[in-house]
Structure 1
Amino acid sequence: MNIVDLLSTLLADEIYSRPGSGTDNHARMLRRVQHHIEANLADPLLGPDAIAAAHHMATRTLHKIFSASSLTVAGWIRERRLEACRRDLADPLCAHVGIGQIGVRWGLIDAAHFSRIFRAAFGASPSNYRQDPGALMR
């Protein structure tokens, strides 16, 4: 999966960096950072400081880039991680993978924290969601 993420990041970077793409520099940088986040969700150290360093910018600049979106940098990372966990918990092919392992797979290494933020985001614990993923869709 990481190879696919890396390729999509490279392709998006190529598309957004072409002149005349109609995308201003700010939006292009936001998409580049978002692709970087997607490709590195499994890294538990992924955070604003690491992302800013990877893009050779100040952390304050990174926060400014995200200021136009509805989420902070950390909020965007959390949302993407939780969505990946939700997807894995509903996937029958991941039924053999422990709930804690799914959290770790997506950079959420503290099981209690993972359970707490998952419940806050989706209204059910990860184990309850795994038992009946359709319940949250009703």
Structure 2
Amino acid sequence: MTLVRRLPRRAQETLQRIYRFIETNLGDPSLTPQMIADRHNMSLRSLYALFADQPLTIAAHIRRSRLERAHTDLASRELSGQPVRAIAARWGFSSATRFSRAFREADGG
């Protein structure tokens, strides 16, 4: 589970709700910080402030979670016949090119 630093109880609950929302909606290519803020009736600035003390920014958390899920699928025997672009799309990457770029950047290359 994602680390939640000491925040007021209400902020902790909101943060946990947002983390669950992200995990539930990872496959949606329109999942962005703005969409999350809109769905949680808060300003984008408030959302960023909520994530200020977290290990990752909200965008980095989304990207890392998507890459982790895609990596799991790519390593899966059951999905070995799936094209990379299909797996990338399944986890919200709008193109194979974007997926490849994100994967390279995360891998340090």
TM-score, normalized by length of structure 1? 0.70
Aligned residue in 2 for 1:75:
60
Partner in structure 2 of residue 133 of structure 1: none
Deviation at 1:123, TM superposition (A): 5.7
5+ residue gaps in structure 2? 1-7
What is the rounded CA distance, in whole Å, between the counterparts of 2:14 and 2:43 in structure 1?
Answer: 13
* Residue 121 of structure 1, CA deviation: 1.7
From 64, 69, 82, the counterpart of 1:97: 82
Aligned to 2:28: 43
Aligned length: 102
What whole-Å deviation, never above 9, does each CA across 1:78-119 have from its counterpart, x for those lacking one?
A: 010000000000010111111011000000022112112112
Change (3 A) 1:90 1:54: same
Q: Which aligned runs of 4 or more in structure 1 are off by greater than 2 angstroms?
A: none
Cα distance, 1:29 vs structure 2: 0.9
Point out the structure with max Rg over C-alpha: 1
Q: CA RMSD in A?
A: 1.5
Which has the higher relative contact order, 1 or 2, with Cα contacts under 8 A spaced 6 or more apart?
Answer: 2
Aligned AA (1:96) = G
Kindly indicate which of the two structures has a greater share of residues assigned to helix.
1
Superposed, 1:17-28 pairs within 5 Å as 24-28=9-13
Percent identical residues: 39
Map Cα deviations across residues 30-64 of structure 1 (whole Å, 9 max, x no partner). Answer: 11101000000111010011101111111111111
Q: TM-score, normalised by structure 2?
A: 0.87
